[in-house]
Amino acid sequence: MAQTTRALQKTKPGPGAELVEVELPEVGPRDALIKVDVAGICGSDVPTYHWMPTAVSKVAARGLKFPFSFGHEFAGTVQEVGRDVQTVKPGDRVAGETHGPCGNCFPCNTGHRHICANMKLIGSGYPGIFSDYTVLPEICTVKLPDSMTSQQGAVLEPLGVAVHSITEADVSGKPVVILGVGPIGLFAVAAAKHLGATQIFGTARSQEKLDMAMAMGADATFNPLKVDVVAAVKEATGGIGAGAVIDMTGDPEAILQGLRMLRSRGRLVMVAQLKGALPAEVSVPLCRAEVQLTGIWGRRMYDTWLLVEHLVTSNKVDVAKVIGNS
Amino acid sequence: MAQTTRALQKTKPGPGAELVEVELPEVGPRDALIKVDVAGICGSDVPTYHWMPTAVSKVAARGLKFPFSFGHEFAGTVQEVGRDVQTVKPGDRVAGETHGPCGNCFPCNTGHRHICANMKLIGSGYPGIFSDYTVLPEICTVKLPDSMTSQQGAVLEPLGVAVHSITEADVSGKPVVILGVGPIGLFAVAAAKHLGATQIFGTARSQEKLDMAMAMGADATFNPLKVDVVAAVKEATGGIGAGAVIDMTGDPEAILQGLRMLRSRGRLVMVAQLKGALPAEVSVPLCRAEVQLTGIWGRRMYDTWLLVEHLVTSNKVDVAKVIGNS
Amino acid sequence: MAQTTRALQKTKPGPGAELVEVELPEVGPRDALIKVDVAGICGSDVPTYHWMPTAVSKVAARGLKFPFSFGHEFAGTVQEVGRDVQTVKPGDRVAGETHGPCGNCFPCNTGHRHICANMKLIGSGYPGIFSDYTVLPEICTVKLPDSMTSQQGAVLEPLGVAVHSITEADVSGKPVVILGVGPIGLFAVAAAKHLGATQIFGTARSQEKLDMAMAMGADATFNPLKVDVVAAVKEATGGIGAGAVIDMTGDPEAILQGLRMLRSRGRLVMVAQLKGALPAEVSVPLCRAEVQLTGIWGRRMYDTWLLVEHLVTSNKVDVAKVIGNS
Amino acid sequence: MAQTTRALQKTKPGPGAELVEVELPEVGPRDALIKVDVAGICGSDVPTYHWMPTAVSKVAARGLKFPFSFGHEFAGTVQEVGRDVQTVKPGDRVAGETHGPCGNCFPCNTGHRHICANMKLIGSGYPGIFSDYTVLPEICTVKLPDSMTSQQGAVLEPLGVAVHSITEADVSGKPVVILGVGPIGLFAVAAAKHLGATQIFGTARSQEKLDMAMAMGADATFNPLKVDVVAAVKEATGGIGAGAVIDMTGDPEAILQGLRMLRSRGRLVMVAQLKGALPAEVSVPLCRAEVQLTGIWGRRMYDTWLLVEHLVTSNKVDVAKVIGNS
């Protein structure tokens, strides 16, 4: 088996990355050695490559030392497994779950290991996957069905973020608004449609994104630079408002609007971290209409994975539409 | 029957109020004429009397014209009822529910009339109750059991706010923190104890309030001026954090701390409106630990009333302790 | 305004009914006088007409005296309204909600008036609607949007039963099985599809019904006389089982099977009353897999109505397919 | 370390058991060797010893071969751990969790490993613990806090069943009825009190058990041989009914009564398997009042364990009262 691999590494602070030959870690009893077949470039990989401020601070926060490899969205083929591995075997094609939970903390012990308190991530606790081969714990691998291509498989991780946001928002039978229809937002539009939202609205500042949202199944879209989105959503919902809002923007003003466009007892789910302080006015819808504000992290392990596999293999969500265009 | 009544009115902008004789409105088919036996002074009545800025802006927002009467917490005795009234009759002692829902809007039509979109309030849509007699719709009256004093009855409305915050926070089997143990916070301490919280912590900046919280059943209290409350709660909960936090302060920094002291998937319920912007850092616990931020308004009609009646008549919550001391 | 009307009445025990001229009740302050435009024949009207045992015992249980009129599914046009009516006015087209809640009991006071403890029904507490005109309380009328035909409107009541069963089963993101695809079951197939079920399976003993289920959107159907439905559902769901099962049959054996085909923590919702005792074996899936068994009654007022209106006006559920064929 | 141990074994069909010296299994990488300090005798151990029909059929169903050891409630001290064990170490005192989940099935993968589809049990998949030493997987051990005695520790497993039933019934703010106040039922009375039930009622056919229920905190008790329990509960709850019922009897008639004594939307949780068929009449409360019937299995891993540890160490539940008397 492979003992070294090419890997794309940040070898020092600053823009760029180097392709170097590195040793692979030993395959432990619960690990798998995987050949990377398809890698995805996450929105967070770009700042790492260009060494933008958000990446610099994240790398510092995680205590990463140079050199380090990066990348975490992928599909690959299992080459070798450790003695205690049960769910995958050599020859299996797998997708990567970025998150490696500890198994013993409070969230792990109460059914929420996707928000493990001691989480290790591919790209920090484990090596990044911009490489020919990688070694990961079994729990970071999800076997792909035969009917799924590896390119589709490499997209399940970000699609899972979108699907998790939709399941957390409880959209069935309700109008839903997706604030910010970038790639994850477009996936959310499609997921909302197939998980039972009655109406789906998307917002973005670019007409191109709005057009793609319509192509993914939105009923209407709004450009917040041009229309009052709160008023538009209220009007489109018979004056009642949306039952759920998903925020992909992190923009405090968008979130204030999102809370205001919710009907009573509705829920806003944040996917992106906030870019600034939330105006005090958020407490009006939170208290007066008893709406809820929450967020999500990654994907549920493995409720969400079961669902993304269904949505892709049943052709309900066409990931190619988003991959090819955004 | 009485056709006029003494009423305490704001007759013009500025501090103070006048006791004047006014005509009572006609008793409509779904109304009750009530003799006010005991009135409570809400935290919001004081600024109205002294004409403090919060009162000035609230009066403006509600479009109130001078003269207007105020006061909304009370217990009284029904004197006369309209033709279609079904739940109370002359001679019944009643408590007042401040909120008069329309019955036809989305929240009213989906089981949440306490957050009616067209709510009329005692003191704005209906006359305030600082008067000898008042006329209110049947839906703003709740019959008191014989075993309850009218003084207790007059406190059910604010006690209901506390109980509603606790039921919304889903405290059973969980440690809970009450941020700000003023009168409503003290009620919340007692309610949390009897609704199944495993541990109850209170915070305040005054030792007197902290002492009262202990007297109401808190397990420990923390003064945020003296200790790191997040660390203290984490330590007292075996490193896990609280399952629920109730905020009575409206202080953005306290709420950031409240979100940080929650265990994964925990819930923070706001009772007070925010006094300033929420720091961007709130999105870390919201997303990373998937905690929830929500608020409440008034009391559920009438789930909460059933519960407050039980808590008072069973002597689980001793309202006299709070009334006499705060 | 009309003071008498033709009405189809049961004038004595036995098969048949008579068309007689009867006086209309007075239009009370909260009532509406309605011209019946389209009436539906419910599955329960047929036994009443033919005086079958189920009808005899139901009439006895409700204490109905001869003569009485029957029928409860309809759409009509408001002619006149009482003084306190707020939601409909003369000229409005309305559908009928069979259930008239009291407004003051525990379920009414806690957001569940559709299961009012003192419910009056069209056809027993109120006159049946097989007549030219009828007088009903405002709460039994639901205004139809202009885009909906009266024929569609007359079907909202039974469609609402199906939709309520689906919302109660929480189908979003889950495979669902409809046991018994008669008219309500067919509606449930369509509702499940648009409320986010991932896969929809139907069962019936007639090929014609199974074919219609496919036409309404089922992914597969099973005839319990020919296949082991539990095994078939398990296989079709990757060995996991269904997330929800809706029973329209009342057949104890079907319900035992339904509980067995559920995945862990799944839910079975009964729409029909049981025709016999449930085998003791039901406690195995109830305890071992912690599945839930519950039932529904009518439609939520008015959560369900909002949803059926959307499903019909958006052409997601084509009621004509079911009306014309069952 | 010990390589053999005395163990109480069923060596052949028939009453009795033999104390024999047996070899201990090897301590695998995720196993712990434990000295048994205190063993509990579960209600299910007695039929095994006496070889009563329920035991005979259970042993057959589980495919057990003679000789086999039995017993599963215990506290012990860890002697040795395998290489990959993380949560316990030699010298730790532990309680035993009877259930060993697989970690890879649908319930395990969706946060419900306590109802694992491939569960191995102490006493069938793993050796019984009526022995001096035992070897168990780490996941079947729960570290005891210093403040808890081993005798208390040995009772956490059955106490956990009671607590799980109460958390599943969602009792906070509601009257609750415990049908059958044997040992688990008595624990349920105490748990309900501390998890927020407003009133607690117990039923049994023996006055001694009813007296113990009062001693554990019940508000009232009823002997179904002497009073109409449905009527008694309705009267004690102001005509509304209980919010939750827990059944420990498996008696179909008791469960029918339990469903009838629930208020609308209430929940009945079965702990015991049914002893016979459920009457068809159960569908009346299930449909008409939309109550729910469900069951539980074991204890949640490890939500329930966190709660039982709190209830015992805080002296809220005095297990000695039940151990000494039942």
Q: Where are the beta strands (DSSP E) in A54-105?
A: 68-69, 73-81, 93-96, 99-100
Q: What's this model's pTM, rounded to 2 decimal places? A: 0.97
CA D278: distance to chain centroid? Answer: 23
Cα B276–Cα B278–Cα B282 angle in degrees, nearest 5? 165
| A295:B278 CB<8 A | no
Task: Specify whether the CB–CB gap between D248 and D184 falls below 8 A.
Answer: yes
Task: Specify whether the CB–CB gap between A116 and A98 falls below 8 A.
Answer: no
| C84:B29 CB<8 A | yes
Mean pLDDT of A263-269: 98
- For residues C237, C241, C247, C253, the Cα torsion angle rounded to the nearest 10 degrees is 120
Q: Residue A1: which pLDDT band, with cuts at 50, 70 and 90?
A: low
pLDDT of residue A140: 97
| Residues β-bridged to residue D293 | C293, D268
- Reading chain C (326 residues) residue by residue, the pLDDT tens digits are 668 999 999 999 999 999 999 999 999 999 999 999 999 999 889 999 999 998 998 889 888 999 999 999 999 999 999 999 999 999 999 999 999 999 999 999 999 999 999 999 999 899 999 999 999 999 999 999 999 999 999 999 999 999 999 999 999 999 999 999 999 999 999 999 999 999 999 999 999 999 999 999 999 999 999 999 999 999 999 999 999 999 999 999 999 999 999 999 999 999 999 999 999 999 999 999 999 999 999 999 999 999 999 999 999 999 999 886 44
Report residue B94: phi and psi, to 5°: -135, 155
Q: What is the pLDDT of residues A14-38, one digit of tens each?
A: 999 999 999 999 999 999 999 999 9
Cis peptide bond prior to B67, omega within 30° of 0: yes
CA gap D153, D136 in Å, rounded = 17
- Under an 8 Å CB criterion, which residues of B touch A? 106-107, 110, 112, 115, 117, 168, 240-241, 250, 252, 263-265, 270-284, 286-297
Q: Average pLDDT of chain A?
A: 96
Chains that touch B (3 or more CB pairs under 8 A): A, C, D
Q: In what order do the strands lie in the sheet with B292-295?
A: A220-222, A199-203, A175-179, A242-247, A262-270, A292-295, B292-295, B262-270, B242-247, B175-179, B199-203, B220-222
D35: amino acid identity, one letter = K
pLDDT of residue B324: 64
Share of chain A above pLDDT 70, in %: 98
- Under an 8 Å CB criterion, which residues of D touch B? 167, 170-173, 194-199, 240, 306-307, 310, 314
| Residues β-bridged to residue D199 | D175
pLDDT of residue B184: 96
pLDDT of residue B43: 86
Helix%, strand%, coil% for chain A, nearest 5: 35, 25, 40
Closest chain A residue to C174, measured at CA:
A307
Task: Specify whether the CB–CB gap between A133 and A34 falls below 8 A.
Answer: yes
Mean pLDDT of A198-202: 98
pLDDT of residue B2: 67
Q: Residue D326: which pLDDT band, with cuts at 50, 70 and 90?
A: very low
Cβ-count burial of B223 within 10 angstroms (0-12 exposed, 13-18 middle, 19+ buried)? middle
| Residue ranges in chain B modelled with pLDDT below 70 | 1-2, 324-326
Residues B195-217 as b or e (16 or more Cβ within 10 Å = b)? bbbbbbbbbbeeeebbebbeebb
Chain C hits for B29, Cβ within 8 Å: 29, 84
Of D115, D282, D290, the CB nearest to C290: D115
Which residues lie below 8 Å from residue D265, measured CB to CB, with a gap of 6+? C107, C110, C112, C115, D289, D290, D291, D292
- Element containing residue D152 per DSSP (H, E): helix D150-153
- Indicate the pairing of strand B292-295 with strand A292-295: antiparallel
Report residue B48: phi and psi, to 5°: -65, -45
Residue B88 burial (CB count, 10 A): 17
Task: Specify whether the CB–CB gap between C51 and C11 falls below 8 A.
Answer: no
Chain A hits for C198, Cβ within 8 Å: 194, 307, 310, 314
pLDDT of residue D44: 87
CA gap D220, D201 in Å, rounded = 5
Q: What is the DSSP letter of B287?
A: I
Span between the terminal Cα atoms of chain B, in Å: 37
- Under an 8 Å CB criterion, which residues of C touch B? 29-30, 84, 86-87, 103-104, 109-112, 300-303, 306
Chain C hits for D106, Cβ within 8 Å: 240-241, 263-264
Chain C hits for D112, Cβ within 8 Å: 264-265, 290
pLDDT of residue B78: 98
User: Per-residue pLDDT for D1 more than 70?
Assistant: no
CA gap A204, A184 in Å, rounded = 13
| C292:D293 CB<8 A | yes
- For residues C100, C104, C107, C113, the Cα torsion angle rounded to the nearest 10 degrees is 30
Task: Specify whether the CB–CB gap between B246 and B189 falls below 8 A.
Answer: no
Task: Specify whether the CB–CB gap between C271 and C297 falls below 8 A.
Answer: no
Of C195, C199, C314, the CB nearest to A196: C195
**Of A5-9, B301-305, D25-29, D322-326, which gets the smallest average pLDDT?**
D322-326
| B278:A276 CB<8 A | no
pLDDT of residue B326: 44
- Under an 8 Å CB criterion, which residues of C touch A? 167, 170-173, 194-199, 306-307, 310, 314
B157: amino acid identity, one letter = E
Query: Could you give the C-alpha distances from B326 to B209, B227, B235, B250, B321, in angstroms and in order?
Result: 8, 24, 30, 19, 9
Mean pLDDT of D4-15: 95
Q: What is the pLDDT of residues D205-245, one digit of tens each?
A: 999 999 999 999 999 999 999 999 999 999 999 999 999 99
Both tokens of B96, joined, read 């007042």
Chains that touch A (3 or more CB pairs under 8 A): B, C, D
Query: Could you give the C-alpha distances from B224 to A85, B181, B206, B213, B280, in angstroms and in order?
Result: 49, 12, 10, 15, 21
Residue A87 burial (CB count, 10 A): 17
